[in-house]
Amino acid sequence: MFSKLFNNFKKTDPKVPDFYTTDLHSHLIPGIDDGSKSMEQSIEMIKSLKNLGFKKLITTPHIMSHRFPNDRDIILNGLEELQVELQKQNIDMPIQAASEYFFDEHFIELIRKKELLTFGDNHILFELSYTTPVYGIEQTIYELLKAGYKPILAHPERYAYFAASPEKYHKIKEAGLLFQINVNSTDAFYGKKTKVAVKYLIDNGLVDFVGSDTHRPNYVEALEKSINSKIFKTIEEKNIIKNAYL
Ligand SMILES: [Fe+2]
């Protein structure tokens, strides 16, 4: 009797909430960016994500012409190899690939050629320089929208020049961007300033998507903690999280 009661109160593994069973930001294709180093590590991370309750993954290798000169073929071939390995090991996890585009001349060229890798309803994910503000971003947002894309800015809380002047978030949001925060930012994985900025975004209802930005196994370990952080737990009060529609 007592042991039965005890079992009912046994601590269960942390699980992602229902609104976050699809992840849209990670670096799980081995060897093509600063994410997974090997097929073995990719499989290990995908198994851990599955244990955390994820049901669908959209992985987003960097396309950054000066550091990671990936293209559509490299990413899609890498995805296929990963899917074959998942099947071989009987791991049931739907996985798609797009990219995390770095905002540079090459990105602008790909927008003009309409050659971006999309997911969901023509969504694309892009990032900015962490330290140097980009001038003319509104013009590029306009071009993206005109071309029919739905642009998502990756981890707005991580750009120092926005975090220092959070009123700027409203301006680029109004220009037509969707925002994806990193869940691990809510628990100071990236430092205190990022945590303050992510709290601002959450409290002001500016968040559209949440992502893991998984690069290595320790990111998934941190995620287990972050999904139970005080800040993350308040996210649904003021934000409509759209991961489930992807
Ligand atoms: Fe990323």
- CA–centroid distance, 130 to ligand 1, in Å, is 12
- CA–centroid distance, 12 to ligand 1, in Å, is 29
Which pLDDT belongs to residue 136?
Answer: 85
The gap between the terminal CA atoms of the chain, to the nearest Å, is: 45
pLDDT, mean of residues 130-142: 93
Cα distance between residue 149 and residue 235, in whole Å: 26
- CA–centroid distance, 7 to ligand 1, in Å, is 39
Check whether 163 has a pLDDT greater than 90: yes
Q: Which CATH architecture has domain 15-245?
A: Alpha-Beta Barrel (3.20)
Under the banding of pLDDT at 50, 70 and 90, the label for residue 157 is very high
**Please, are residues 20 and 245 in contact by the beta-carbon 8 Å criterion?**
no
Percentage of the chain lying above the pLDDT 70 cut:
95
- Neighbouring CB atoms inside 10 A of 191's CB total 12
b/e burial code for range 104-124 (CB count within 10 A of at least 16 → b)? eebbbebbeeeebbbbbeebb
HSE on the CB side for 160, CA within 13 Å?
Answer: 5
Which pLDDT belongs to residue 12?
Answer: 60
Q: Which candidate, 239, 224, 174, 231, places its Cα nearest to that of 48?
A: 224
- CA–centroid distance, 1 to ligand 1, in Å, is 49
- CA–centroid distance, 62 to ligand 1, in Å, is 7
Check whether 122 has a pLDDT greater than 60: yes
Under the banding of pLDDT at 50, 70 and 90, the label for residue 1 is very low
Which pLDDT belongs to residue 188?
Answer: 86
**Please, are residues 14 and 227 in contact by the beta-carbon 8 Å criterion?**
yes
DSSP letter for each residue of 216-232 = SHHHHHHHHHHTTSHHH
**Residue ranges of the domains in the chain?**
15-245
- CA–centroid distance, 85 to ligand 1, in Å, is 23
- CA–centroid distance, 2 to ligand 1, in Å, is 47
Indicate the SS3 state at residue 240: coil
Dig out the tokens for 197 from the structure.
């900025």
Q: Facing residues of 111 across strands?
A: none
| Distances from the Cα of 14 to the Cα of 50, 52, 225, angstroms | 12, 7, 8
